[in-house]
Amino acid sequence: MIMKKQYVDDDGRVIASMDVEYIRPRRTPKRACVDKVQPQTLATRREALHIALNATLAALFIAFVIMVVIGTMILIMTLVW
């Protein structure tokens, strides 16, 4: 058995607990683990497709804006030189 080192100024209180809810620490047995967390709301197939489509369109818009900015910078740099 490994003995923990005792410090003179340690009174045993926990100042900030680093335990995360729903994550099993290595020192506890598997049977003490919390059941799997179910999602709060379930999206229908149509709603999931709309979410995926909107996320894709947002990413494409951001990529387009970045390409326009880079193209404008290249145009300005070529005109300056």
pLDDT digits (tens, 9 = 90+) for 4-32: 777 777 777 777 777 677 666 666 555 54
- pLDDT score for 10: 74
Tell me the C-alpha distance between 31 and 65, whole Å. 52
51 CB contacts (<8 Å, ≥6 apart)? 43
Could you state, in order of their start, the residue ranges of all structural domains in the chain? 43-80
pTM of the model: 0.47
Tell me the C-alpha distance between 32 and 1, whole Å. 23
